[in-house]
Chain A
């Protein structure tokens, strides 16, 4: 009996210990800072750190001005200049180039046929063009990665599509590589033809979804000469071009200017995926061989006769945006039914964002490799600007004011042309700009490395990580290095050419991030001992009461 009382007497002790435990309860998962804040840590980055060279400089010989099969190709001092053999092939047509030139390209022999000087003015007037549909960074059943791989910026590989001139051979650099040949890239290539040419454009649908081509602003009849679909809209014309099928569209543009072409199937998605490109109709001139494709847009290494009359250089600037959620819809399955459902029905574009912003298929810092505007003082430079984003763009070139000569491929009355420093383009609009490098305090403030970018600030970041997006540079030749990079502060680009920076795993300005407190081990151990004591005591009491008579 007396034993039982002893056990009962222990109960208040248990309660007291519980009260003590509650009072001494340590912070288990988070703690308020006292006098000292946590020391700070570098963000944890689990992937292997990759540091790119700003310029890999694979083909320095491509930069030179050169004559290939009689085509005088201008110098292109970019880090990644266009392959001059491709340029020669695009000027002459695959049927007019030499065998060595053909062997230096990845273009199919029937991709571009130029023939029949109908008006006897020294250039071909019947042009046959064949386009394929590329997928970049799509799903693969053989790896957790995407394939074939196309980085728009370090470590950023969104799923994309692009039209492409018909190719031949391997699309990747070699059997062991997942990296694409330079010709397989975003954006869809700029197509250039001469005013009055009879152009036959065949879509060879190499992709797993149906597509079409619609020519936006380019003079074309509603139906082909044989009564086929010629506007590319499945609602008003024929059904879409199914996978494995082809369709030929016919054009004979009477009006010159900067236009567009794009897929018109599930247009919202397919356009944003990248099936949209610039379409330039050059003014008719004698002996006017035009560079039919400008792959990757940017510098035009062989301008038309009419452009050469007025300008020293010409650049095609294709602005494009990507919704990362749309881009993901092609990256998670190899079942086309699943992909179709995820892209066309689960994904809802009315709830979309634009996360990546590209100029000529790259986002900063990769724009530095191939999207520079290179200039010398006292030049006239032709810029053809197209906005294929959802959102408007407001392009600003530091240190310069340029003149808008054409809106949507229509020349503005010269007396009414506007010179300004922000160029606003709504979705699908085009502007032709005359950029003068006369250092007169108005058109130019002199030589330099001048940023040019969209002033809609969401667009100068890669998924919100700045600097990125469509930032590029206008570089005067006296400040351009041998490998096509600007002469800037040597450490200026160090942060950006890593996969860590755009994964948002690098604290800025050399500062660390706050990180965590370490646990107060002694307090935790004492607390656990106390809890153990309480539990032990309860067991002791319960067992004791049961055993006591």
Chain B
């Protein structure tokens, strides 16, 4: 088995190198970086599962999130350790977007990254294999301010390492914006009544107790 893996590494690496430059596959519609359909991480004896995911990027997907501008159609993904993730990334905008995942092992993914970038409307498919450890990987589009205005997601492997912050519809921001509260007279009135009710309640209970004790 191990010998077979080594053999695969041996034959695939030069073949792959022939069609890319430093891990990059580029054409006029976009770029794929560190495509890896077959090299296994050190801790994975074999691919545990083949998982196909489709992730769409575009302005339209932020419609349901007030105050945001760009996002993916789904922002939370779950796969088992040692899975091969085949990402079909679809860009529904006329501008550039990326699917960029960080934290992969640097010995097989230079800079720890796997990226699909599409320069306008279009789609590309590429794969990466995750190691076995339980971890939450950070996915985003790094076009200036796209992450910040909503284009951020997470890939949980195994038991994961918890949720990342500021994922639309899932988690709050680390540095949240502060908004005023729209209090009305009803707010204050209901608070006042509750306050008085609290006093009355205690005094009533107290008097009841006192009467009992007095007896």
A residues near B, CB below 8 A? 3, 6, 27-40, 512, 514-519, 521, 524-537, 539-540, 544
Partner of A31, one of B181, B195, B206, B213: B181
A33, B194: Cβ atoms closer than 8 Å: no
> Which one of B3-11, B32-40, B117-125, B167-175 contacts A?
B167-175
A67 to B: closest C-beta gap in Å: 57
A536, B201: Cβ atoms closer than 8 Å: yes
B1 within 8 A of A: no
B169, A519: Cβ atoms closer than 8 Å: no
Q: What is the number of residues of chain B that contact chain A, defined by CB distance less than 8 Å? A: 36
B210 within 8 A of A: yes
A524, B179: Cβ atoms closer than 8 Å: no
B200, A536: Cβ atoms closer than 8 Å: yes
Which residue of chain A has the shortest Cβ distance to B182 in the bound complex? Answer: A516
The docked-state distance in angstroms from the alpha carbon of A514 to that of B177 is 10
B66 within 8 A of A: yes
A536, B169: Cβ atoms closer than 8 Å: no
Partner of B199, one of A514, A525, A535: A535
- Residues on A with C-beta less than 8 A from B183 are 28-29, 519
B residues near A, CB below 8 A? 65-68, 169-173, 176-184, 187, 190-203, 206, 210, 213
The docked-state distance in angstroms from the alpha carbon of A38 to that of B65 is 9
The docked-state distance in angstroms from the alpha carbon of A32 to that of B181 is 10
The docked-state distance in angstroms from the alpha carbon of A296 to that of B206 is 83
The docked-state distance in angstroms from the alpha carbon of A37 to that of B193 is 30
B177, A32: Cβ atoms closer than 8 Å: yes
The docked-state distance in angstroms from the alpha carbon of A30 to that of B179 is 5
The docked-state distance in angstroms from the alpha carbon of A3 to that of B187 is 39
Partner of A38, one of B179, B191, B195: B179
A31, B178: Cβ atoms closer than 8 Å: yes
- Residues on A with C-beta less than 8 A from B191 are 524-525, 527-528
B177, A37: Cβ atoms closer than 8 Å: yes
Which residue of chain B has the shortest Cβ distance to A38 in the bound complex? Answer: B179
- Residues on A with C-beta less than 8 A from B193 are 528
Query: 7 smallest A-B Cβ distances: which pairs?
Result: A532-B198, A536-B202, A528-B194, A516-B182, A536-B199, A540-B206, A528-B191
A532, B187: Cβ atoms closer than 8 Å: no
B198, A533: Cβ atoms closer than 8 Å: yes
Partner of A514, one of B67, B184, B190, B210: B67
The docked-state distance in angstroms from the alpha carbon of A517 to that of B177 is 12
A529, B181: Cβ atoms closer than 8 Å: no
Which of A39, A525, A527, A536 counts the most chain B CB atoms within 10 A?
A536
Which residue of chain B has the shortest Cβ distance to A34 in the bound complex? Answer: B172
B178, A32: Cβ atoms closer than 8 Å: yes
B185 to A: closest C-beta gap in Å: 12
Which residue of chain B has the shortest Cβ distance to A33 in the bound complex? Answer: B176
The docked-state distance in angstroms from the alpha carbon of A37 to that of B177 is 8
B199, A532: Cβ atoms closer than 8 Å: yes
The docked-state distance in angstroms from the alpha carbon of A474 to that of B187 is 56
- Residues on B with C-beta less than 8 A from A531 are 195, 198
The docked-state distance in angstroms from the alpha carbon of A544 to that of B206 is 9
A37, B66: Cβ atoms closer than 8 Å: yes
- Residues on B with C-beta less than 8 A from A512 are 66
The docked-state distance in angstroms from the alpha carbon of A340 to that of B191 is 52
- Residues on A with C-beta less than 8 A from B199 are 532-533, 535-536, 539
B62 to A: closest C-beta gap in Å: 11
A40, B67: Cβ atoms closer than 8 Å: yes
B163 to A: closest C-beta gap in Å: 11
B10 to A: closest C-beta gap in Å: 48
- Residues on B with C-beta less than 8 A from A27 are 181
Which of A519, A530, A534 counts the most chain B CB atoms within 10 A?
A519
B192 to A: closest C-beta gap in Å: 7
- Residues on A with C-beta less than 8 A from B177 are 32-33, 37, 514
B180, A521: Cβ atoms closer than 8 Å: no
Contact A6-B172, Cβ < 8 Å, known A27-B181, A38-B179, A529-B195: no
Partner of B181, one of A30, A36, A525, A528: A30
A519, B181: Cβ atoms closer than 8 Å: yes
- Residues on A with C-beta less than 8 A from B66 are 36-40, 512, 514
- Residues on A with C-beta less than 8 A from B184 are 519
The docked-state distance in angstroms from the alpha carbon of A352 to that of B180 is 33
The docked-state distance in angstroms from the alpha carbon of A516 to that of B180 is 5
- Residues on B with C-beta less than 8 A from A534 are 198
- Residues on A with C-beta less than 8 A from B182 are 515-519
- Residues on A with C-beta less than 8 A from B172 are 32-35
The docked-state distance in angstroms from the alpha carbon of A471 to that of B190 is 53
A537 to B: closest C-beta gap in Å: 5
B213, A528: Cβ atoms closer than 8 Å: no
B180, A29: Cβ atoms closer than 8 Å: yes
A32, B176: Cβ atoms closer than 8 Å: yes
A525 to B: closest C-beta gap in Å: 5
User: Mind listing 19 A-B residue pairs with CB under 8 Å?
Assistant: A29-B181, A33-B172, A33-B176, A34-B172, A37-B68, A40-B67, A514-B67, A514-B177, A516-B181, A524-B187, A524-B194, A525-B194, A527-B194, A528-B191, A528-B192, A528-B193, A532-B197, A532-B201, A540-B206
A104 to B: closest C-beta gap in Å: 57
A35, B171: Cβ atoms closer than 8 Å: yes
